[in-house]
Amino acid sequence: MSTTPTESSGLSAYRRREQSITLSPLDEQLGGAETTDELLTLNFGPHHPATHGVLRLLVTLQGEIVRDVKPVIGYVHTGIEKTAEDKAYWKVIPIVERMDYLAYYFNAMAYVGAVEKLVEVEVPKRAQYLRVIHLELNRIASHLIWLGTSALDLGASSIFLYCLRERELILDLFEMSSGARMHTRYFQVGGVIEDIPSGFEPKLREFLKIMPKRADEYGAILNSNEILLQRLRGTCPLDADTLLSLGVSGPLLRAAGNPWDLRKADPYSSYDDFQFKIPVGTIGDNYDRFAVRLAEIYESVKIIEQALDGLPEGPHITEDRKVALPPRHELATSMEALIHHFKLVTEGFRVPPGEVYNPIESPRGELACYVRSDGSSKPARVHMRDPSFVNLQALSHMVEGSYIADMIATIAMLDPILGGIDR
């Protein structure tokens, strides 16, 4: 005879209680109404690891399907454009660099390019090549952070450490050339602040040898990760025409098959000297966005190799003492150099009145700087057309009608940088 009390049905009290539990209490509360039609508005972020920064989304869900996404931004708005109006032209460089904090060389390039157009200063060829080297290194670093954090969101966690390992090599190079690892202030109006030091080239060559192999490894790891592939393949595609009407550019547009790249279409800083390809996707789904960025790393390596091989001799910054600081050794011997130095440091240089718009290709798309000068030594208006800010509008178009888990993958592949969005 059993020790547990049983009833005529043969079930224990415990089993009966277990069976009485309904697994969908919501159904009962709603009196059997069709719960799948119910819309739920969910607050997502701003402090959420999958939003890549302080991005807040108001997500309207029907079951697990996303019906509407409204981004709420501005949490890290720091008024950089307003601050820029109160600084001399060359002192604006360090603050604009802090907008898109993964692509600081690009922010500086867009800004100094705009000022160079206004002042009509000629940038020496060596400076242009040095800029290209640093821009492309920065593009790789930015893509590495994107790849690592995105893979982390999609469940492949070890790749994050590998990506940061390679990024560390790039930051070491930045430290060699400018003394700072991030926000380096390396680009100046008219050129770059200093020539590269003697140990830079062998170290860069070593990196260029390592990087394609490591990128091969990333591709091998991720392309054989079934979970990652299922979350990327065929999810949240958007066609090129819709992307264009939304103003989207960069890898997102190229993933949809439109090979628009300002480095090729409208070359600046001697990009027309280099041979490289523009990786494109086909249908513009999340996998294409992933594949395009991964392929861009190889192209950047190629560009850096060519720039390093063909690095011309010559000055690294313009000889025009009205916009560029005189070399240190001249200060001890030349009165004129001392005067120029004093004028530049105290007042800065005056810029002819006018407006310019300088677009460049950042890791996220068309990054452009609009500068209006009123003839004084401070800009009257600095506006950054940040690609993340514009591209974010495409998010709701991409994810409407897909699962909320796919939305996480799409945010990762969108690669928004909130410092750039909020400025």
C-beta neighbour count of 29 within 10 angstroms: 10
Integer Cα distance of 294 and 288 in angstroms: 10
Query: Cβ 302 to another protein, closest distance in Å?
Result: 23
266 binds another protein (CB under 8 A): yes
Which x/- pattern, by CB under 8 A, does the window 26-65 give for another protein?
----------------------------------------
Q: Are 404 and 415 in contact (CB under 8 A)?
A: no
Which residues between 147 and 206 bind another protein (CB under 8 A)? none
**Residue from the set 212, 298, 372, 400 that interacts with another protein by CB under 8 A:** 372
Nearer to another protein, 156 or 280 (CB): 280
Interface with another protein (CB under 8 A), residue total: 38
Q: How many CA atoms lie within 13 A of 26 on its CB side?
A: 7
**Residue from the set 7, 120, 226, 309 that interacts with another protein by CB under 8 A:** 120
C-beta neighbour count of 375 within 10 angstroms: 10
Q: Are 389 and 395 in contact (CB under 8 A)?
A: no
Of 61-69, 142-150, 190-198, 239-247: span binding another protein (CB under 8 A)? 239-247
Of 225, 282, 214, give the one whose Cα is nearest residue 254.
282
Q: Are 317 and 192 in contact (CB under 8 A)?
A: yes
Of 88-96, 116-124, 335-343, 406-414: span binding another protein (CB under 8 A)? 116-124
366 binds another protein (CB under 8 A): yes
- Dihedral of the CA atoms 49, 55, 58, 61 (nearest 10)? -40
Nearer to another protein, 232 or 243 (CB): 243
327 binds another protein (CB under 8 A): no
Query: Cβ 249 to another protein, closest distance in Å?
Result: 8
260 binds another protein (CB under 8 A): yes
Integer Cα distance of 340 and 334 in angstroms: 10
Query: Cβ 413 to another protein, closest distance in Å?
Result: 19
Structure tokens at 100: 């898109």
Exposed / middle / buried, residue 346 (Cβ in 10 Å: 0-12, 13-18, 19+): exposed
406 binds another protein (CB under 8 A): no
Of 39-47, 55-63, 221-229, 352-360: span binding another protein (CB under 8 A)? 352-360
Integer Cα distance of 80 and 334 in angstroms: 37
Query: Cβ 369 to another protein, closest distance in Å?
Result: 10
Phi-psi region of 235 (alpha: psi -120 to 50; beta: other; left: phi over 0): beta
423 binds another protein (CB under 8 A): yes
Q: Are 121 and 132 in contact (CB under 8 A)?
A: no
Structure tokens at 277: 């390809």
Integer Cα distance of 343 and 337 in angstroms: 10
Nearer to another protein, 125 or 372 (CB): 372
Which backbone phi and psi does 318 adopt, to 5 degrees?
Answer: -60, 150
Query: Cβ 12 to another protein, closest distance in Å?
Result: 59
245 binds another protein (CB under 8 A): yes
Which residues between 65 and 84 bind another protein (CB under 8 A)? 73-74, 77, 79, 81-82
**Residue from the set 133, 134, 385, 406 that interacts with another protein by CB under 8 A:** 385
The bridge status of strand 187-188 relative to strand 191-192 is antiparallel
* Site for another protein, rule CB under 8 A: 73-74, 77, 79, 81-82, 85-86, 117-118, 120, 244-248, 260, 265-266, 354-357, 359, 366, 368, 370, 372, 380-381, 383, 385, 389-390, 392-393, 422-423
